[in-house]
Amino acid sequence: MEIAPGIHLIPGKIGGRPLQLYLLVGDAHILLLDTGTAADPEQLIFPYLETLGLGPADIDLVINTHADADHVGGNAALKRASPRAAITCGEADRNFVRDPQVMITQRYNAYRASHDIGPDADVHAWFVEMLGEPQEIDWTWCGGEIIRLGHDWSVRILSTPGHSPGHLTIFDPSSRTALMGDAVHGGIGVDAFGNPTFPAYIHVASYLDTIEHIRSLDANTLAGCHWDVMRGQEINQFLDSSLDYVRRLDDLLIRELAEMPQGATLRDLVRSGGLKLTDGRPVSELEVAYTFAANLEHLVGRGPLVRDDSVHPVRYHLSARQS
What residues line the site for Zn ion (CB under 5 A)? Answer: 68, 70, 182, 225
Rounded CA gap, 85 and 90, in Å?
17
List the beta bridge partners of residue 8. 2, 23
Q: Which residue is nearest to Zn ion (CB)?
A: 182
Rounded CA gap, 31 and 59, in Å?
6
Nearer to Zn ion (CB atom), residue 117 or residue 225:
225
Residue 181 has φ and ψ, to the nearest 5°, of 55, -125
Q: State the nearest-atom distance from the C-beta of 225 to Zn ion, in Å.
A: 5
Rounded CA gap, 170 and 228, in Å?
17
Tell me the CA distances in angstroms from 200 to 182, 186, 189, 258, one per residue in order.
9, 10, 12, 25
Q: State the nearest-atom distance from the C-beta of 184 to Zn ion, in Å.
A: 12
* Pairs from 226-231 (Cβ < 8 Å, separation ≥ 24): 226/14, 226/17, 226/18, 226/19, 226/20, 226/182, 227/18, 227/186, 227/189, 228/18, 229/3, 229/9, 229/20
Q: State the nearest-atom distance from the C-beta of 129 to Zn ion, in Å.
A: 16
Do 117 and 108 touch, CB atoms closer than 8 A? Answer: no
Do 6 and 30 touch, CB atoms closer than 8 A? Answer: no
Q: Helix crossing, 285-302 with 233-258: angle to 10°?
A: 80
Q: State the nearest-atom distance from the C-beta of 119 to Zn ion, in Å.
A: 15
Nearer to Zn ion (CB atom), residue 182 or residue 250:
182
Nearer to Zn ion (CB atom), residue 12 or residue 26:
12
Q: State the nearest-atom distance from the C-beta of 87 to Zn ion, in Å.
A: 18
Give the residue among 62, 61, 69, 79 at the shortest CA–CA distance from 19.
69
Residue 198, H or E segment? none
Q: How many CB atoms lie within 10 A of CB 185?
A: 26
Q: State the nearest-atom distance from the C-beta of 74 to Zn ion, in Å.
A: 13
Nearer to Zn ion (CB atom), residue 70 or residue 250:
70
Nearer to Zn ion (CB atom), residue 68 or residue 93:
68
Nearer to Zn ion (CB atom), residue 172 or residue 182:
182
Q: State the nearest-atom distance from the C-beta of 20 to Zn ion, in Å.
A: 10
CA 85 from centroid of its chain's CA atoms: 23
Q: State the nearest-atom distance from the C-beta of 106 to Zn ion, in Å.
A: 17
Say what the alpha-carbon torsion angle 153, 159, 161, 166 is, to the nearest 10 degrees: 100
Nearer to Zn ion (CB atom), residue 24 or residue 225:
225
Q: State the nearest-atom distance from the C-beta of 68 to Zn ion, in Å.
A: 5
Q: Provide the phi-psi class of 162: left if phi over 0, else alpha when psi is between -120 and 50, else beta.
A: left
Nearer to Zn ion (CB atom), residue 104 or residue 252:
104
